[in-house]
């Protein structure tokens, strides 16, 4: 009998397994063998959502009416809660009926936005260093990736004039991410104004991925607060980091009603809505006051001091003005590259720190540590590093 030979689509050959997917499997095997790796690489919040959020999920789950399919565009209550959240914390007015789209996590939105706006061959501006999903999704959709470099000397912000001089033929979309991951760089109104003017001049859709708005950031800001932003911009946001709801997959997209409708056409063909009690619990999470954010930031601030101590010990340099739940640091001059440096730490001390190369070539001499481990675990990591000097 002839053996079948089933080949994947060509697009699969253009992307690799997500780095953290493979690395976490390796760490899992090490842990199973009793090596007890301390993972400082992943931005996976270790805290619980607020008690009232959990209570809302539990209580509403007992109502038999809440277990059916929900609206493709999200519960009206949830969209209103997102609109109120943006008004209160970002001073941005959004129409909950047609300018907000709840998502199954903001990562989902990267694919949906790309599918809604990009044709094969269209150009996409992708940051280097930057979140790997931007390039991966662009490759899957056969778009042309134009990497734009972020330099520490420019506060990890793009050189927009340089991009225009180089030419922007067929560039359709630009991914930005502020507060930035992996560098922790915050944005300011002047920079966002420049971005919107750039997008408007060149007919480029600017998409800001904004899940780190509230983590160690005293001045949350939305790209949509810039004048004329609604004409050429979209913004993704999420409850994963700010509300300790990473596994819940609760995100949102905000922007011009016409743009939202394009994305909804894609989304409505890919899922059938989110569990109603989870959406109602998300409403409760969005109603939390400033004290919630102050409390989680107090925890992250204490952990960040320990990460600074860890980086000091291994000779890395870093800025103390970073936002978000990571610390981005340059490796010692004596080291060849971040990949080997991080791997050596893992094998010698059983401490995993993300090497910056996974975020692009501009990260080759940087590493990134997460604040998502309790202080006592980070302290234990420091002790291991000192023991294994």
pLDDT of residue 214: 95
Whole-number Å distance between alpha carbons of 359 and 132: 6
Q: What is the pLDDT of residues 263-321, one digit of tens each?
A: 999 999 999 899 999 999 999 999 999 999 999 999 999 999 999 999 999 999 999 99
57 falls within a domain = no
Residues 265 and 305 in one domain: no
pLDDT of residue 4: 77
95 and 226 co-located in one domain: yes
Strand partners, 207: 175, 234
Report how far residue 360's alpha carbon sits from residue 331's, in angstroms, rounded to the nearest whole number. Answer: 16
> Which structural domain, as residue segments, surrounds residue 89?
64-286
Rg of the Cα atoms in the chain:
21
pLDDT of 43 reads 87
CATH of residue 35: 3.90.1150.10
CB 72 within 8 A of CB 269: no
Say if residue 127 is in the same domain as residue 261: yes
Reported in sequence order, the residue ranges of 164-277 that DSSP labels E, i.e. its strands, are 171-176, 205-209, 233-238, 251-255
Q: Which residue has the tokens 């730490």?
A: 345
Global pTM value: 0.93
| Whether 147 contacts 126, CB under 8 Å | yes
Kindly state whether residue 56 falls inside one of the protein's structural domains.
Answer: no
At residue 17, the pLDDT reads 66
**Residue 218 placed within a domain:** yes
Q: Residue 209 domain-assigned?
A: yes
Residue 178 tokens read as 């502020």
Dihedral class, residue 74 (left if φ above 0, else alpha if ψ from -120 to 50, else beta): left
The Cα–Cα gap between 335 and 287 comes to: 47
Per-residue model confidence (pLDDT) at position 13: 77
Note whether residue 125 is domain-resident.
yes
Burial class (CB in 10 A: 0-12, 13-18, 19+), 166: exposed
Examine residue 2 and state whether it is found in any structural domain, yes or no. no
Peptide bond before residue 54 is cis, with ω within 30 degrees of 0: no
CATH number of the domain encompassing residue 263: 3.40.640.10
248 and 119 within one domain: yes
Q: How far is CA 46 from CA 183, 244, 380, in A?
A: 21, 7, 17
Domain boundary among 286, 318, 335: 286
Distance CA 189, CA 212 (A): 17
Same domain for 79 and 221, yes or no, is yes
Tokens of residue 286, six digits = 């969005």
Q: Annotate 35-102 with DSSP letters as a single string.
A: ---EE-S-----SPPPHHHHHHHHHHHT-GGGSS---TT--HHHHHHHHHHHHHHH-----TTTSEEE
Q: CB-based contacts of 4: which residues, under 8 Å, 6+ apart? A: none
Provide the number of structural domains found in the chain.
2
Are 175 and 306 members of one domain? no
Domain check: are 37 and 130 in the same one? no
Same-domain status, 100 and 248? yes
- Which two three-digit tokens encode residue 341? 């440096």
Place of tokens 């401490």: 351
Neighbours of 60 (CB within 10 A): 18
As a whole number of angstroms, the distance between CA 186 and CA 219 comes to 9
Length of the chain: 389
Strand partners of residue 253: 101, 236
Q: What is the mean pLDDT of each run of 10 residues along the chain (389 residues)?
A: 80 72 83 90 92 97 95 95 98 97 94 97 97 94 96 95 94 97 95 97 97 94 96 97 95 98 95 94 97 96 98 96 96 94 93 95 96 97 90
Of 238, 266, 286, which residue constitutes the final position of a domain?
286
> What Å distances lie between residue 380 and 303, 306, 386, CA to CA?
12, 10, 10
Is there a single domain that holds both residue 281 and residue 317?
no
| In a shared domain, residues 135 and 255 | yes
Domain contains 330:
yes
Answer whether residue 236 is part of any domain. yes
Q: Are 279 and 376 members of one domain?
A: no
The residue among 286, 306, 341 that closes a domain is: 286
Same domain, 89 and 110: yes
């Amino acid at each position: 009998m002839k053996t079948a030979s089933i080949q994947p689509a060509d697009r699969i050959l253009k992307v690799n397994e997500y780095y953290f997917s493979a690395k976490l499997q390796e760490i899992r095997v090490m842990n199973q063998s009793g090596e007890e790796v301390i993972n400082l690489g992943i931005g996976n919040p270790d805290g619980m959502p607020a008690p009232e959020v959990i209570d809302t999920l539990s209580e509403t789950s007992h109502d038999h009416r809440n277990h059916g399919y929900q609206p493709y565009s999200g519960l009206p209550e949830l969209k209103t809660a997102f609109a109120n959240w943006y008004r209160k914390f970002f001073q941005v007015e959004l129409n909950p009926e047609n300018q907000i789209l709840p998502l199954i996590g903001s990562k989902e939105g990267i694919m949906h936005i790309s599918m809604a706006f990009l044709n094969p061959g269209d150009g996409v501006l992708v940051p280097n260093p930057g979140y790997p999903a931007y390039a991966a999704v662009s490759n899957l959709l056969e778009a042309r990736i134009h990497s734009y470099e972020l330099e520490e000397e420019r506060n990890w912000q793009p050189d927009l004039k340089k991009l225009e001089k180089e030419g922007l033929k067929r560039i359709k979309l630009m991914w930005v991410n502020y507060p930035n991951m992996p560098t922790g760089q915050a944005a300011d109104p002047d920079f966002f104004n420049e971005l919107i003017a750039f997008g408007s001049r060149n007919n480029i859709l600017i998409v800001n991925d904004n899940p780190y708005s509230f983590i160690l950031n005293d001045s949350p800001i939305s790209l949509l607060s810039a004048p004329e932003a609604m004409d050429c911009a979209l913004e993704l946001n999420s409850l994963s980091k700010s509300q300790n709801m990473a596994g819940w997959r609760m995100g949102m997209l905000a922007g011009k009603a016409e743009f939202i409708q394009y994305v909804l056409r894609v989304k409505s063909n890919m899922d059938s809505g989110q569990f109603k009690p989870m959406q109602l619990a998300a409403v409760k999470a969005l109603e939390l006051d400033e004290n919630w954010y102050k409390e989680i930031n107090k925890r992250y601030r204490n952990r960040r001091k320990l990460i600074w101590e860890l980086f000091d010990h291994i000779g890395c340099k870093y800025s103390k003005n970073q936002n978000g739940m990571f610390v981005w640091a340059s490796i010692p001059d004596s080291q060849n590259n971040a990949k080997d440096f991080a791997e050596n730490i893992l094998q010698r001390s059983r401490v995993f720190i993300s090497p910056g190369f996974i975020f692009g070539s501009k990260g080759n001499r940087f590493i990134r540590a997460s604040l998502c481990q309790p202080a006592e675990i980070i302290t234990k990591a420091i002790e291991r590093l000192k023991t294994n000097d």
